[in-house]
Amino acid sequence: MRGQKFAIQLLIAALAVFATAACGGESAGPPGGTNDADAGGDYQPPTDDGDLGEPQPPQPEVPETYTYSQPAIVGDKVYVANETLDAVAIIDSRSLEIQAVPVGRAPTKVVAPADGAGDDARVMVLNSGDHTVSLLDPEGGESLHVPVMPHANRLQATASGRFGVAWYDSSEPGPAGDLSAVTVVSSAGSFDVAVGFLVRQVLFDEVGERALVVSDDGVSVLDLAAIESDRFVAPRPLTPPGFEAVDPAELRLHLGPQGDTLVAWTPSQPFLFVSDLSEDTRVAIALGAPPTGAALSEATLVFALSEADRLLTITLPEGLEAARADQEARGLWVDGAFVPPLAEDAFVDSEGFVYLSIEVPALGSVVLSEDASVAMAFTTNPQEQRAVLVAMAGLEQRTVRFEKEVRGVLADEDGSTFLVIHPRRPGSREGLTPSDPEFVERSHGFSVLDIGTAQTRLVLTELEIARAVLFAPDTGDAFVYLSYENPQPGAAELVAHREIVRVNLGTFRSEVMRLSALPDAMGLIPGSGRVYVNQVHPQGRITFVEAATGERQTVTGYQLNSGIF
């Protein structure tokens, strides 16, 4: 079974098809991604006093962030928080047997370790009612309940499942918590760690030994195994001397696979800021133009430089080291200060640091397949419906044109397909037919792009896509399962709100499955080859779908330990 987790940003097709409203039928009628439209433009709009405004640099693209849904899964079992009973329901996806494990009060989030984690891995549950985290042994051993900082509303765990970090995210609703601290949890207990002001993000290295807590004051580097008591870990700056004016809140971050290299950038600066976390040093690297989008997969980091109509591909960390050394040798850095080069020398390659002029101008976003074999440059600007595919091995390009603008893209694991999400434009579809251009413009939709042939298929939908799950077996066709946004409070529920769209990525065939309740979460269970769809139901309802065949079984009343259908 290939991987579970993917971020996709997609392209559009020339073939418009509707997902059918009939359960399991061929698509023929409408069913019920830091990609918003690019702010775009080189100049400010005229002001009220007639001032035409000053020239402005290209604006960063803000594609909608889409990821394939990731449930809390260990082996064949799904872990679902049950706030009503202060328990976690563990559902066997093969036998549909249900086990309820007591946790703290009002459990809200469940985090599972990655596949292949060791015997000391734990499933972690954040309990908002009593400010605790429960650590559950997947093998059935004794559970541990440890206190965390009051009103923590976020919980992240290392892939190893040995450590977790609970913190308060001020962007989420609810009671206010500590803005300058996190709690590190493990089987050894829990310890509060004071960090910089306004925690924004927590990153982990691949092996799960180091956590980076990003705040407005910089980044606090936590050696997780060494934390055995409450402490303060001072934040380090994210930029080198001379760049203190850069607002830390603007910086976007990428952590290298070994956890030693942290790359920061902002669309307002034509530089990368690179931190060596082991040595606690920072340098800047000139890019020639401000980056407007980026994608990281394995050790490959790609930037879109829309002002220069280029992509920049970097091999981590060697490409960064070579570029900085070459720029110093060329005299671009003197005593830490930047000396701008001539215009013709602004984009110079180094070993592992390579620019690529792209065929379509002003593409400000980029996505990579999980194996870093294929990149796609695109834009959220509704006036540009082309994108460029780049084979990373030889940097060959192919241009693809779409029927609709792009909102976000999901990439698969091995560069076989991209799933592109499209927005709708305002206006009613009443009185229009699917052959009318306005009907296409005023519909939501997604496209499936076969990268090998550059063939695409556009599926129009009545509602906005909210969740996506990829099933990619070693043999046979891959499938994507999609569900829609739920109705807003007080809004009427449509038939399509309860539908799941199943797309065969080999044949491009799409079909619709209708549920008896609104879906609110879904994900792949690799061990059993099933997709699970949790639904809004007073007694708890979850449907298991054989990903390869579409066959379904539903468990209703898992909160009461009953009701298999």
Whether the CB-CB separation of 147 and 131 falls below 8 Å is answered with yes
Both tokens of residue 183? Answer: 């709690």
Whether the CB-CB separation of 38 and 379 falls below 8 Å is answered with yes
pLDDT at residue 54, rounded to an integer: 47
- 202-220 confidence digits (pLDDT tens): 999 988 889 999 999 999 9
Query: What average pLDDT does range 226-245 have in this prediction?
Result: 96
DSSP 55: B
- 305-356 confidence digits (pLDDT tens): 999 999 999 999 999 999 999 999 999 999 989 999 999 999 999 999 999 9
pLDDT at residue 558, rounded to an integer: 59
pLDDT at residue 500, rounded to an integer: 95
Q: Does residue 345 sit in helix, strand or coil? A: helix
**Rounded distance, CA 327 to CA 486, Å?**
52
pLDDT at residue 52, rounded to an integer: 38
CA-nearest of 71, 82, 77 to 98 is 77
Where is 433: in which H helix or E strand?
A: none
**Rounded distance, CA 351 to CA 328, Å?**
15
pLDDT at residue 337, rounded to an integer: 94
Residue of higher predicted confidence among 189 and 74 = 189
How large is the C-alpha radius of gyration of the chain?
Answer: 24
**Rounded distance, CA 406 to CA 448, Å?**
12
**Rounded distance, CA 83 to CA 90, Å?**
14
DSSP 207: T
Q: Given its phi and psi angles, is residue 384 left (phi above 0), alpha (psi -120 to 50 degrees) or beta?
A: beta
For tokens 């939709």, name the residue: 445
Query: What average pLDDT does range 103-124 have in this prediction?
Result: 88
pLDDT at residue 249, rounded to an integer: 87
pLDDT at residue 53, rounded to an integer: 42
Given a cut of 90, whether residue 304 has pLDDT beyond it is yes
Model pTM score: 0.82
Where is 338: in which H helix or E strand?
A: strand 337-338
- 453-507 confidence digits (pLDDT tens): 888 889 899 899 988 888 888 888 889 999 999 999 899 999 999 999 999 988 8
Whether the CB-CB separation of 402 and 358 falls below 8 Å is answered with no
**Rounded distance, CA 484 to CA 480, Å?**
13
